[in-house]
Amino acid sequence: MIETTDLRDLLDSIRLVYGYDFTEYSEGSLGRRVAHFMKTQNIADIHEVAKAILRDEAVFELFVQDVTVTVTEMFRDPAFYKSLREKVSARLATYPLIRVWIAGCATGEEVYSVAILLKEEGLLERSLIYATDINQRSLQKAREGIFPIGHMAKYTANYLKSGGRGSFSDYYLAKYDGVLMDKTLRQAIVFSAHNLTTDQSFNEFQLILCRNVLIYFNQSLQSKVIGLFHESLCPFGILALGNKESLLFTDKEHKYRTVDNKERIFIKQE
């Protein structure tokens, strides 16, 4: 059991030394992830974690990898992508240039899913997808666009349930035990490091996806990040959250209209 004061001391030290601010992450979730890191690194005391992290940047990178990793798969929650196709793509088609921000992109499965959807809707050629994450190792995996071939059966099933219009195998090249995502998809994506807790808006977007990230933040940080997205969306831009996330209890709630309540898709009303 990690004491709250010890966890906060660790987070304060990380913020001062590395500039990464985890202090407004949900303490329960973060505590479990720190405990998992301690177990994998065979460290019994949280004070030893602090010493190891602060004296060795490589250990800190492992720490970031462990505490920020998210569960992901291509076309995860197929009903969400089906809703994007049916309720959002026509609106996106009205823009001459479509900028999409996928915040907290992890290892890229969601990014390539969105790229495939845009391609099938005839929108990818005039789209630019910005995929960001705090985790540099995850970003590198996403940038490479290589996934285990053993996952393709599951991803194909998700794709078909999401309303996929073609053959999913057309979007990757299989070789040995991995697949490489198609070059035309990768060319439309810009991968970049971005910290939702400390970094600012960097462009204006027609669509922002941040799914299953806010659940790891406390209420104050959730409101701050929603404010960042609001600032980054164009008038009548689309915001998509995870199905356990909401605009409720944020000061921006009244500035959005619901497109799909179940799938947590909203449109900015200004």
pLDDT digits (tens, 9 = 90+) for 143-164: 999 999 999 999 999 999 999 9
pLDDT bucket at 71, cuts 50 / 70 / 90: confident
Taking the alpha carbons of 20, 223, 242, 209 in that order, is the dihedral positive or negative? Answer: negative
What is the structure's pLDDT at 68? 82
Is 80 exceeded by the pLDDT of residue 70? no
Q: Which pair of structure tokens corresponds to residue 161? A: 């349930």
**Element (DSSP H or E) covering residue 81:** helix 78-83
Q: What is the pLDDT averaged over residues 96-112?
A: 97
Is 90 exceeded by the pLDDT of residue 133? yes
Residues 6+ apart with CB under 8 A from 91: 236, 238, 267
Q: What is the pLDDT averaged over residues 14-21?
A: 89
Q: Which residue from 36, 41, 52 is spatially nearest to 2, judged by alpha carbons?
A: 36
CB of 82 closer than 8 Å to CB of 43 = no
- Could you tell me the pTM of the whole model? 0.89
Hey, what amino acid is at 133? D
Mean pLDDT over the full length of the chain: 94
**Domain locations along the chain:** 4-68, 78-268
Tell me the sheet residues that pair with 127: 98
Q: What is the pLDDT averaged over residues 151-180?
A: 96
What is the structure's pLDDT at 248? 85
Is 90 exceeded by the pLDDT of residue 90? yes
Match domain 78-268 to its CATH number in 3.40.50.720, 3.30.830.10, 3.40.50.150, 1.10.3720.10: 3.40.50.150
| ∠ Cα 236 239 240 (to 5°) | 145
Per-residue pLDDT reduced to its tens digit, 207-221 = 999 999 998 898 999
pLDDT-above-90 percentage for the chain: 78
What is the structure's pLDDT at 189? 98
Q: Which pair of structure tokens corresponds to residue 124? A: 């990818």
